[in-house]
Structure 1
C-alpha cells in the first residue's frame, strides 16, 4: 500500500505525523519534498539519485534506524538533475519490495504533490485549527479525490478535540492529535512517538490513525 500524507499548508506537522505513522505501520517513509526535505538523510544514495537514474529505490532505503527511510537529497543541484516523473515508479518499486510505503508530500498543491497522490492507494490529510490550514486541507482533499487516492483519515493536529465540523467538511474520519513535545521531537531523534513516548496521548492517537489506515487495506 502507498499512503500519501499531504496537507496543503506548510507547518502543520505533516512530516512528524508521517514519521510516527510509518513507525506504527512498519512502513518505509519516503521524503518526497524534492525542494525542502525534512526527514533525516545520512550518507548514501537518496531520492534525488533515484530520480536521476543513479540508484534504485530499494538501494536508497536506509534500514538502520527505528524507521526505514528513503530520504530526499538536500541540494539544489540534486533537485535539478532528477526527473520527477520517475517518482511514481520509485514509489511502486519501494512498495513491491517492502509492502507499505508512507509518502511525506511537499507543502502546497503543485505537481510535486500530484505525483505522490497519483501513485497512492490512499491519502491522509493533515491540518491544524488554523483557518488557512483548514482551507488548504479542503483543497488537498479535492486533489486527492480527483487523482483517485481515497481519503483514509484527516489528522487534526495540535487540537484539543475531534472537531465534528472538520469531519463533516472533509468527509472522512478525524483523528485529533494534541500538542505534543514528544511528537515534535521525532525528527531530531528519528524515533516514532510510539517508541519515544508510548504512554502519551499523541502516541495513542497515532495508533488510532494507523488503525484507520489499516482498515482501508481490507
Structure 2
C-alpha cells in the first residue's frame, strides 16, 4: 500500500493518486482515506455510496470501476466509521491482492496518521510554495515517526524542482508534474510525468 500524502489541501494529492494509479501496471485500487473532505470519487467520476463502513464487507460492495481506465478501481472513503473501524478498514484493504494507492487527508492530525501507519511507503506531494513545502516536511517527519518509509516527493504545478526540496523533505524528488488545463489527467504531458514518477518509484524498491 502506497500512501499519497501532503500537508496542505489542494497540493495535488488526489490528482497524484489517480495519476499514479493509471500509470502503474494494473490492476490497481485507488482508495480515498479522507473521511471529512473526500473528493477522490468526484475526480474519478464515480459515486460515493454509504455502506456504513462495515469492515467485514469493505471492498467489493463499494468498489467502482474507473470510467475511463479499466485497470483502475476506485474505493471512496467510508462514512460513519470510528477511528478503530477506519484503521481496520484500511488494514483489510492492505491485504488486497491489487496494488493500492491511498489518497490521505491533509495535515498532521490523527486522521492523516492512520493511513500513513498502515501503508508500506509514503509519497509526499507538494507545490513549490513555502507554506506547502514546510507542511510537506512535517508530513514526511510524521511518516518516519510512525515507522513508514518516505519513498520520495512529487512536486506539482512545475516542470523543474530545486534540489532544496529534497533536502527539506528528506527524500528524493521522484518527479515533477506540470501545470495544465483541466481535466488535468487527460493531458499527455501530465500522463507522461506520472509514468516517469512510477518508473522512479519502481527504482526505489
Q: TM-score range by the shorter chain?
A: 0.7 to 0.9
Q: CA deviation at 1:132?
A: 0.4
Distance 2:62 2:10 in 1: 26
Q: What is the DSSP-based 3-state SS (H/G/I as helix, E as strand, rest coil) of the residue aligned with 2:39? A: coil
What is the alpha-carbon root mean square deviation over aligned residues?
Answer: 2.1
**How many residues are paired up?**
196
Match of residue 92 from structure 2: 93
3-state SS of paired residue (1:9) = coil
TM-score where L is the length of structure 1: 0.81
**TM-score, L = length of structure 2:** 0.85
Aligned equivalents of 1:208 and 1:88: distance in 2?
A: 31
Tell me whether 1:49 sits opposite 2:52 in the alignment. yes
How far the C-alpha of 1:58 sits from its partner, in A, is: 3.2
Match of 1:213 in 2: 201
**2:61 alignment counterpart:** 59
Runs of 4+ in 1 over 6 A off after TM superposition: none
Segments of 5+ residues of structure 1 without an aligned counterpart are 187-192
Considering fraction of residues, name the structure with more helix: 1
Question: Which has the larger displacement, 149-158 or 130-139?
Answer: 149-158
Judged with a 3 Å threshold, the aligned counterparts in structure 2 of structure 1 residues 53 and 45 are, in CA distance, closer, same or farther, namely: farther
Matches within 5 A, 1:18-167: 18-25=17-24, 26=26, 27-40=28-41, 42-43=46-47, 45-46=49-50, 49-50=52-53, 52-53=54-55, 55-63=57-65, 65=67, 66=69, 67-72=72-77, 78=79, 81-167=80-166
